[in-house]
Structures are given as structure tokens and as C-alpha cells.
Amino acid sequence: MFIKLKVGMNMKQAKRLQKLPEQFFSKLVQDVNQKIREGVDVINLGQGNPDQPTPEHIVKALARAAEDPQNHKYSLFRGKPELKQAAAHFYQKEYGVSLDPETEIAILFGSKAGLVELPLCFLNEGDLMLLPDPGYPDYLSGISLADARFETMPLREENQFLPDYREIDAESLEQAKLMFLNYPNNPTGAAATSTFFDETIQVARENEIGVVHDFAYGAIGFEAEKPVSFLMREGAKDVGIELYTLSKTYNMAGWRVGFAAGNREMIEAINLLQDHLYVSLFPAIQDAACAALLDSGEAVRKQNDLYRSRRDAFFNAAQKIGWQGSAPAGSFFAWMKVPAGFTSSGFAKFLLEEAGVAVADGSGFGTFGEGYVRIGLLVSEARLEEAVRRIGELAIFQKPEENFIKSY
């Protein structure tokens, strides 16, 4: 029996797709590309895409693994044991955290996949989740697909951009099923303390909230001590998991490989969902990820030195033109204040139009992102200084009373 389809048949998207939030970064890329097509030399400080290449030994490990015919077959559904063992070894070496490779680690197609999957794993229609504000915009995607609800936890400068759990009403804490956190933080660059994580564990235990710590920038820290892993704190595995990606640590953003570690029930839920979505990662990429995680860490230390040097160059230049902001304790972002007379969105548009400098509009990260723009330290020091020089020539910080919004 044949079914004849009408020409020009209108295939309507499912409601779950229609409700998805607008892709914030997609619009930013479109705006930048349009200016480039117009012949403008755009300095793109709005991106979060590492600009350095993947270390050579990791690329060579991939090349060797890709030549192995065994890696041309389907992978094991839940990933190669060698990669899970390498992840466990990495956590033991870097953070002193013991993990069972089979029950406490799940391989991910990059940590973004895990962040979208987790609400699907644990939230039913109408269930509540807690999100940081400002926060990574794609946190909203999984909530939308799960048809769940969310409330935000404000991140304010006066509280070092950490949520104050006393601000969350008792009913919301009682109803919440999941909580997302992210330190070092995107977009603010703030770092968490051990005391904060201890408080988080207590709140989560008392209210039966599953904690998901997005540790994407865990390897990028500028203080005397490296950024704190949530799993280092006593009781962390009882209430939550940590998501780690190789994208930032090893400049492997396009490789799409990461892992979740911690609470066994949460790990099993991720694995169960992924059993129905994927047949795990290309095995050769998993072998290359092993080479990265088992490395001495010298490449990561050099990378941190590079980001620290860029941070210092940018803030030295910004200080000279009177541009105020928060120097990051970690991550490769700077969270800069918008001058008087502008909204975050208006300021971002103004800089692109008048200076050829692209920045990320702070309000795109949430209500409490208004008044800021995010700067990515992902171009050379010379380009960072050139961007600040162009902005300085606009004289918007020295004479804020003369600022104007125009059509921005």
C-alpha cells in the first residue's frame, strides 16, 4: 500500500521544539558575520570557543586510533572501559577523589549533552529546577524539553557571584528536584569556595535536591590553588554529580567528549537515556581522550599561563580607559560593567557598530546579567589591547553623561 503525500505538505514541528528558547549564541554569530561581510575588521570577544589547537600528542593519539580496524565498529553502548578508567585516574590525581569507573562515571558527547539530558532524566512535567542567574543559556534547553519549570538563583557581585540560599523560599526548596551550578563560572569568571560547596551539600540533603555541578572550566584558574571540585567535599556524591568536558581543558571543543562523575543513581539514569539515543562515541576519540586525561598536565599549565597573561593585558588596558569589571578567578571570560546610558544589549550593539568589537550581551545570560557584557579572552593580547583602544576612542567611560543610546 502506497501513501501519496501532497506536494508542499506542511510538516509542523512538535510543540516541544516550538517551545525551545532562542539560541542566544547563534544570533551573536549571525551579527558578527554580517559585519565581516560588510568589510569590517571585527574583533570577536563574544565567543566561548577556544582559539588554541588541541595538543599535538592528543591529535597523534587520534590518528593512531583511527587506523585501528577495531575502532571502526560500534562502540560499547556505555563507552570504553579504558576511558572511564582514565577519567577516574584523572580525578584521583587532580582532586584526590575516588570514583568507581563503571558505576560512578558516564561518558558524554560533550558536557552540553549531559546538561540537556539531566532534566529529561529526573524531571516530570511541571517539576521544578533551580538555575543560576546569570548562567549558561543552554541550561534552559533540557528544562524546556522536559516540560518542567525553573526558578533562578541570583548571582550578585556583592556575594562574589555565589547564590545565597537564604533568598530561596522554603516552598521552592521543598519542590525543587534539581539544581545546576557552574564554577569557575560562565559568564562571571567567579570561583566557588569549599565552604560554599559544603553549604550546597547541606541544602541539597535537607531538601532532597540533586546537584549538577558544571565543571567545564575546572582546569582554568588563576588563584594560588586550583579551582575546587564539588566532588572533593564530603557527602558530594550522596547528593550530586559533576560534569567535566575536555573542550576547554585540552582545546577539544569540536571533539565533543566529556563525562559525568559522582552519584550512582544519577549516572545510571544518564546511561539509561543514552542507551536509547546513541551507541557511544567514536572509539578513536575515546582513545584520544584517554591520552589527554592520562597526560602529565604540562600543556594545561602552559595554557593557564596564556590565559592569565591575556587577562592581565586586557584589564591593564581596560583600567586605562576607565572600564570597570571583574577580573576572573577562573574561566577565560571577563564580566565587564556597562557604562551609564546603555543597556547590556544596547552596549553590545553599539560596540559592534561603532568599534567593530563583538561582546556577549549580559542580559542573554539572565535577568541579573543586565548591566554587564561578557568578554572572551580568546584572541591574542595584541587584539585584546586593540579592542580596548577602539572602545577607548569612543570616550564613553570618561564622559558618561554624554552617552547616548541612539537606536541601540
Domains detected in the chain: 16-53+298-402 (3.90.1150.10), 56-293 (3.40.640.10)
Whether residue 1 is predicted with pLDDT greater than 80 in this model: the reply is no
**Encoded amino acid at 156, one letter:** R
How much is the pLDDT for 22? Answer: 80
Whether residue 399 is predicted with pLDDT greater than 90 in this model: the reply is no
Nearest-5° Cα angle at 27, 354 to 146: 150
Selected residue with higher pLDDT from 62 and 14: 62
Whether residue 407 is predicted with pLDDT greater than 60 in this model: the reply is no
pTM (two decimals) = 0.94
Q: What stretch of H or E contains 181?
A: strand 176-182
How much is the pLDDT for 326? Answer: 85
Mean pLDDT of all residues in 375-386: 97
| First CA to last CA distance, the chain | 58
Whether residue 222 is predicted with pLDDT greater than 80 in this model: the reply is yes
Contact between 293 and 90 under an 8 Å Cβ cutoff? The reply is yes
Is the bond leading into 134 cis (omega within 30 degrees of zero)?
yes
How much is the pLDDT for 401? Answer: 55
**Which cell goes with 126?**
511541571
Contact between 303 and 251 under an 8 Å Cβ cutoff? The reply is yes
Let me know if 36 is exposed, middle or buried by CB neighbors in 10 A (0-12, 13-18, 19+): middle
Distance CA(384)–CA(370), nearest Å, equals 23
Mean pLDDT of all residues in 394-403: 72
Q: Looking at 3-7, 180-184, 351-355, 385-389, which range is the least confident one?
A: 3-7
Whether residue 312 is predicted with pLDDT greater than 90 in this model: the reply is yes
Contact between 20 and 143 under an 8 Å Cβ cutoff? The reply is no
Is the bond leading into 283 cis (omega within 30 degrees of zero)?
no
Whether residue 406 is predicted with pLDDT greater than 70 in this model: the reply is no
**How big is the chain, counted in residues?**
408
How much is the pLDDT for 23? Answer: 77
Question: CA–CA distance from 133 to each of 155, 314, 366, 387, 405 (Å)?
Answer: 6, 25, 5, 27, 25
